Every structure is written in C-alpha cells, then in structure tokens.
Structure 1
Amino acid sequence: MKLLGSCHCGAVRFSLNSAHPYPFNVCFCSICRKTQGGGGFAINLGGDADSLKVEGEENISVYQAQLEGDQGLSPAQRHFCKNCGSALWVHDPRWPELIHPFASAIDTDLPAAPERTFLMVGSKKAWVPVDAGPNDKVFDAYPEESIAGWHQRLGLES
C-alpha cells in the first residue's frame, strides 16, 4: 500500500510503500509518549526505506533520545518537522530496510486493525487508559512479535 504523509504546516510531505499499514501497535514508552504521543502513546507503521520519497527535506530535524541510565543515545532516529514539530517517522540503522512512519502523520486512509497490541504499558502514566478489547494483547515491555509478524499472523500483508 502506498502511504502519503505530511506534517501539520505542510513544509514536509513524504510517501513510501508499506506491506504493513495497519495501525495496531500502541506504544506507551517514555520516548514515544513525550516526543509524539498526545494521548500518552504513539502508533507507528512499517514501511520500505528504499521507497521513501521526501519533499521539504530541509525542514526536517532528527532527534535521538537519551536512554535511561548510562546507556547513551538511542540509535533510532526520530524525524520531525522543525517548523511545526510534527513527528513524521522513525528510522533505526540496525534495520536499514525499514522506516516506521507515525500513523498520526499519514494522510492516506488506513485500514482498521482487527486487534491491537499495547506495548510498554509498564511505562505509561496513570492518567492514560488502556482501552484493550477482548482480542487485544497487552505487554509491560516490548513483545517478541514484530510489526511484520503481526500482519503475517493475521493474513493482512498487502
């Protein structure tokens, strides 16, 4: 599926191909919560890094989060619009073939997920509800199942 995305002010527009376009992965980690998640969480998708096309690249800044304790900087590079602050996507050089766009930056209509995965719930704040349904999965930390694995298990690859 081709995904089209943009920032709020329109200074950055991007597109990429995604075999994993269902917004199911609700992350409550402190990095997602503080850098992107107005609801106390963020949802990202999986995309093909080689297909990423960007207009307005000069308006993008990259943030690498400081990890807890003495772990140093996260290798994950969070791209955002330096004008309006919109979170756009995450790229991690450990998986160079992947881009993880934030569902909130995608303008294309996304398919509704038949179930959701709530992850890093151990990091969420008390004011944030976990609205898990009967088929949803809830994890205190990161689950072993990847975005691609979830789509494969449910037969939802496009």
Structure 2
Amino acid sequence: MELQGSCHCGKTGFTVISHTPCPFAHCFCSICRKTDGGSGSAINIMGDYNTLKVRGKEFIKEYRAIRDPDTGELCGNMRYFCGECGCHLYGYCAEYKDCVYPLASAIDTPLPKVDPVKDSIYIMNDYRAEWVNIPAGAKHVFPQYPDISLHDWHVNNKRLIN
C-alpha cells in the first residue's frame, strides 16, 4: 500500500510503500512522548525504506535523542521533522536499514482501522504521562517493549498487505 504523508505547513511530504500500515502501537517512551505531542504517544507504522520519496528535503531537520541521560548514550532512531512547522514525519534506525517508521499522525492516506481495546498495543507504559488514559479493557499493555515486532503483529492479526 502506498502511503502519502506531509507536514502541517505543506513544505515537506513523502510517499512510502508499506506492508504494515495499521496504526496499532502507541509508544509512551519519554522520547516519543516529547517529540510527538498529541496523545502523549507516537504511533509508528513501518514502510520500505527503499521506496521512501521525500519532497521538500531542504526543510527536513534531524533529531537524535539521548537514550540515557546518565551515560549520554544516543537513541538509535533518527527522527525527521519539518524545520518550518515542527511536524514529526518519520523515524529511521540504521540497525533496521530496510525500514522507515512514518508516524500515523503524518499520514494523509486513509489507514486501516484497528480496535483500540483488542488490537492496539500500548508500549513503554512505565513512562506514560499520568494524564494519558489507555482504553478500559485494553488487552496488550506492556511496561517496556513487547516481544512482538510491527511485522509479526500484522502477520499474526492477518493485517499484512502484499
């Protein structure tokens, strides 16, 4: 499925092919919470990095967060934003060089719906802001990272798109 995304001011945009377009994973880590805004979480989906086409590259800014303030260790994920309006567009991690992680909030293409109680997962819950509510009865709440990948979740739930 081709996904089209953009920032708020329209100076940047992108397209990417995704076989895993369901916006299901809400990450509450401090980095996602602070850089995404909104619900206090980032909802990443996965795309094929080799198909990523970016418009307005001259406006794109990069941010690499500090993972551990005590040691200064940097996060492996590089975050890409519009330098004009500040919209977080996608992330990239060299460790997973074939993948790019657009934020669901940046996608303009209609995305498949998921049930926030039975399908969505809520990760890094140990870092969730107190004011953020997880839906009552949510079945998949993890204090840290789960034991399932974006790809495997889509396969297990028969949501992988070829």
Relative to the length of structure 1, the TM-score reads: 0.96
Deviations 1:27-83 (A, max 9, x none): 100000000132111101010000000110010000000112205111210000000
2:137 is equivalent to residue 149 of structure 1: no
Is 1:82 aligned to residue 86 of structure 2? no
Is residue 2:27 matched to residue 1:27? yes
Amino acid at match of 1:16: V
Partners of 1:94 and 1:107 in 2: how far apart? 27
Q: Is the 8 A contact 1:132 1:138 kept in 2?
A: no
Report the Cα distance in structure 2 between the residues aligned to 1:16 and 1:132, rounded to whole angstroms: 34
Other structure's SS at 1:73 match? strand
Partner amino acid, structure 2, of 1:118: Y
What is the rounded CA distance, in whole Å, between the counterparts of 1:92 and 1:54 in structure 2?
17
Closer, same or farther: CA 28–132 of 1 in aligned 2, 3 Å: farther
Once the two structures are TM-superposed, the CA of residue 9 in structure 1 deviates from its matched residue by: 0.3
What residue in structure 2 maps to residue 121 of structure 1? 125
Partner of 2:37: 37
Cα offsets for 1:66-118 (capped at 9, x unmatched): 11220511121000000000000000000000000000000000000141000
CA contact (8 A) 1:40 1:128 kept: yes
Equivalent position of 1:103 in the other structure: 104
Q: Quick one: distance in 2 between partners of 1:117 and 1:33?
A: 16
Which residue pairs with 2:54 in the alignment?
54
Q: Match of 2:65, SS?
A: coil
Q: How many residues align?
A: 157
Gaps of 5+ in 2: none
Q: How far apart are 1:150 and its partner, in Å?
A: 0.2
Match of 1:17 in 2: 17
**1:77 corresponds to which letter in structure 2?**
M
RMSD value, Cα: 1.0
Which runs of 4 or more aligned residues in structure 1 lie more than 2 Å from their structure 2 counterparts after TM superposition? none
**Larger fraction in strand:** 2
